[in-house]
């Protein structure tokens, strides 16, 4: 099972070319996510079901 929490890097099933960061978990279990596209543009989505997200593998340093 995915352990998605605030701060996790995820990809959305419908937008697989952008890595989002989880910024909030709602009471109903859905998530709010955002991605910084560049210095001035931010894309945000709200009420995204966990089933629509997958964790991005993080590189160990």
- The partner residues of 25 in beta bridges, in order of sequence, read 31
Domain boundaries, the chain: 9-55
Residue 26 is predicted with a pLDDT of: 97
Note whether 49 and 3 are within 8 A (CB): no
Task: Say what the pLDDT of residue 57 is.
Answer: 83
pTM reported for the whole predicted model = 0.86
- Encode pLDDT of 1-47 as tens digits: 568 999 999 999 999 899 999 999 999 999 999 999 998 999 999 99
Contact residues for 32 (Cβ-Cβ < 8 A; gap 6+): 22, 23, 24, 25, 26, 44, 45, 46, 47, 48
């Amino acid at each position: 099972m995915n352990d998605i929490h605030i701060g996790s890097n995820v990809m959305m099933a419908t937008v697989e070319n952008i890595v989002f960061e989880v910024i909030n978990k709602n009471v109903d279990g859905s998530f709010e996510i955002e991605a910084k596209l560049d210095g001035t543009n931010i894309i945000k989505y709200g009420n995204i079901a966990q089933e629509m997200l997958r964790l991005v593998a993080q590189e160990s340093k």
